Amino acid sequence: MSHTLDNIDKAILNLLQDDATLPLKTVAERVHVSIATAQRRIQVLIDSDVITKQVAIVNPDKVGYGLTAVVMIEMERSNTSMQHRFERLMDAQSRIMSCYEVSGDFDFMLMVNAKNMSDYHQFTRSLLTYENNVRNFKSQFVMNFTKSGTKITLD
């Protein structure tokens, strides 16, 4: 289902991306529509997969996952079935926050959270192996979060 966004939809999305727990009444007031209209529009945005998930964003340090790594993956064989298998494997891993297929020298980029270096090492030993079609991987560790978010500002 395709959905063309108008200015009201964009305003609703900007609000909900900042705080998905806003009461419906507040959303309606801020975008200058009735509560019923706001509710209907939000439902259409959900039904058309514009809104794919509503979540709480957790500070990894506060929950014991103080190590974040950006991992670049080079696949051994680049064929569609092997890539789909790898994507399914990565999707099933709780340590992986994001998995992107990318252009350039590498095939995939992962954002991985771990408790510590030992936990990360175990992750790489068990998942980033030849058995999972990984030829090579390169890890870069996040030293500081200057900005970390999920918002796509719509205008």
- Write the pLDDT tens digit of every residue in 13-64: 999 999 999 999 999 999 999 999 999 999 999 999 999 999 888 899 999 9
- pLDDT above 80: residue 2: no
Could you tell me the pTM of the whole model? 0.83
Q: For residue 19, how many C-alpha atoms fall within 13 Å in the half-sphere facing its CB?
A: 7
Strands (E), the chain: 67-75, 96-101, 108-114, 134-141
pLDDT digits (tens, 9 = 90+) for 50-107: 999 998 888 999 999 999 999 999 999 888 999 999 999 999 999 999 999 999 999 9
Question: What pLDDT, on the 0 to 100 scale, is given for residue 79?
Answer: 86
Sheet bearing 96-101, strands edge to edge: 96-101, 108-114, 67-75, 134-141
